[in-house]
Amino acid sequence: MRDREKARKRAHELVKRMTLEEKASQLRYDAPSIPRLGVPAYNWWNEGLHGVARAGTATSFPQAIGIAASFDTELVKEMGRVTAVEGRAKYNSSSAQGDRDIYKGLTFWSPNVNIFRDPRWGRGHETYGEDPFLTAELGKAYVTGMQGDGEYMTAAACAKHFAVHSGPEALRHKFDARVSRKDLYETYLPAFEALVKEAGVEAVMGAYNRTNGEPCCGSKTLIQDILRGEWRFQGHFVSDCWAIRDFHENHMVTDTAEESAAMALKNGCDVNCGNTYLHLLKACQDGLVTEEEITEAAERLFTTRFLLGLFDDTEYDSIGFDKLECEEHLEKAALAAAESVVLLKNNGVLPLDRKKLKAIGVIGPNADSRRALIGNYHGTSSRYITVLEGIQDYVAGESRVYYSEGCHLFQDRVESLAWRQDRISEAVNVALNSDVVILCLGLDETLEGEEGDTGNSYASGDKTDLQLPLVQRELAEAVMKTGKPVIAVNMTGSAMDLSYFQEHADAVIQAWYPGARGGQVIARILFGDISPSGKLPVTFYNSADELPAFEDYSMKGRTYRYFTGSPLYPFGYGLTYGDVSVESVECNGVLFRNAASGKGNSPEAVVIPQNDIRIPEAVSVTVTVTNRSSVATDDVIQIYVKALDTPYAPPNPRLCAFSRIRLGGGESRKVTMLIPGDAFTMISDTGEKITDSRRFLLSAGLGQPDERTCELTGKENISFLLEGAENF
């Protein structure tokens, strides 16, 4: 295992040989070389959200929100490992050529573990969804996979953006996210805490906005009190890019660049992504910071570099160029794409039988779009396979494939001199001449994404509502009127209003941004080679009108834990081609059966846990699941908990355990799952973790224990009461 104390001592010995100017220079993201000490230049800025990004050719995984839909921690861990290995391959080959440019280091500014609290946020597809528990579990897996468990880190991960950050993008440089202590500790901080305390994440990045008045990249509360104080974080802290400049230009909490640099450094920000730390020497000269504070930051940064083995011979030095997009890594990306796709509706039209189809219509602006495959913060693939190409390849020589773009992604015509909706008649003709239509709609990173990186200038990457662009809605209506069977494939990184398709389409698929070759996997799902098995990591609402104001950071009325209405598609929901059910649950020696089998126990039956401890470390639950169909499929067992004796519990049950399983046709399996002790604690109004409930309703199923999930799936969860001793 890695020896941080040894690395820290080496960093101390190296840094004490540096001049003040040299130490200050190392706090820039583009740290220059110090030839006299044998210190090469190093650029701290690299990206690896879903594969190595912005540095040329690399394996392209589905966007993070799609990965979250897999509910597969082992898969996410593998994605982290693949990204680190390919990052090492690039670092080794680039540095051998003397190339130490941006995006070629080993410090990856991923994962993004912000909570996707509002579907209008453009950057939400960079996250693992709306649930703190799911986000924490997947984030820990990514960090563990990326950093490895060897003597040196394979690569360094970074938890971002700390904290309370989820839009609006247009206001982020001056926005103050006001949040209660309860929401802070119950929703916005748990994933960060888990990555720090349980996964040992090496870096944390601050957010652009203020939180309760303090700029996040210079917040005493967030960095000093919570991160380094409460959680004992030992790694380094990096600003978001040019965020420190916002202190004096937008947040107006300082007057000068020197004051901004001093505020950030004194509160624990070690690396400045931007140029404000160019003013550190002047700040030191003016007495705003001390040389000791500069030294401390430099030592933390060199500790990371020593932990990466950048001054030693390591086991990773032999990782070669051949690891980039190698067969093993491409197979992992394909598996990730397969597990990410969520089947939202199916009236029996899927899977398609190609032997019965003479002609297939593929229509829509995302049908042959490479941009719709990749999401943002992406690498470059040596090959892209769109949905159209995937279908063409799959049925080659057997069925005719007709194609029409149908409409522009959002503009009112494809050709500038043509009439409005100049492709819609072609689309209708494609539908009329086809036995079935695959209608590929949605967005891409030009419409939803980060402020400054999108073509959506009017909303800076956010959405103003949950509707698809008008031209796409008009296209959908025209195609539906033909009366042909229609399978709607929505390619977005966020929840949309798909109520029209739920009512009118024969099947609805949420494909997210499935990676560079995702079209091949989607084709295999459409034709039944793969059963869809993804689950929604976010709630799909009927309309944005159901939500509080975007700028309101209170959790009331948001996400499945606090939303009191009936969603279009609930968090945790997703269909398969199989017929999987939870048959029984055993907890503490008591067996509960599915009431539908005629052998059901009352959900009020009581299980008494060990009563000599206040909070159990974990509660073991054994779930029996059966696939009653002949179709092999994956599915995801989900367990939810609801505290019954406390005013501090969210209004709805919350996810507390999950497990992805594979079942053959007709197969039954027992799966033992552990519910962590934290599931039985609450967060008070003052942000304290408390235990003030003795009774908990637990529910095991393949989705939430809510009415809408039951309505969509026709299946009920098995619920039972867990009751503790008096001081449980």
Pairing mode of beta strands 210-211, 214-215: antiparallel
Mean pLDDT, rounded, of the chain:
95
How far is it, in rounded angstroms, from Cα 640 to Cα 679? Answer: 9
240 labelled catalytic? yes
How high is the pLDDT of residue 1?
63
Q: What pLDDT, on a 0 to 100 scale, did the predictor assign at position 595?
A: 64
Strands of 465-517, DSSP E: 486-491, 507-510
Domains of the chain (ranges plus CATH)?
Answer: 328-562 (3.40.50.1700), 580-723 (2.60.40.10)
Task: Give the Cα separation of 543 and 522 in Å (integer).
Answer: 27
Helices (runs of H) and strands (runs of E) counted in the chain:
20, 25
Among 54, 86, 83, 516, CA closest to 323: 86
In the numeric block, the tokens 């820039």 are attached to 28
Give the CA distances from residue 387 to residues 352, 520, 535, 672, in Å, rounded to whole numbers and listed in that order. Answer: 15, 7, 21, 38
From the list 183, 240, 462, 634, the catalytic residue is 240
Give the separation between CA 84 and CA 453, rounded to whole angstroms: 25
pLDDT reported for residue 460: 84
Cβ-contact 650, 561 below 8 angstroms? yes
Structure tokens at 337: 């794409």
203-206: strand order across its sheet: 158-162, 203-206, 236-238
* Structure-token pair, residue 426: 């072609």
- Give dist(CA 416, CA 259) in Å, integer: 51
Per-residue pLDDT tens over the stretch 637-661 = 999 999 999 999 999 999 999 999 9
The two tokens of residue 389 are: 């190409």
Structure tokens at 711: 């309505």
Q: What is the pLDDT of residue 458?
A: 64
Residue 346 C-beta-side C-alpha neighbours within 13 Å? 22
| CA distances, 455 to each of 112, 262, 462, 464 (Å) | 22, 35, 11, 14
Low-confidence ranges of the chain (pLDDT < 70): 1, 454-458, 595-616, 725-728
The predicted pLDDT at position 467 comes to: 97
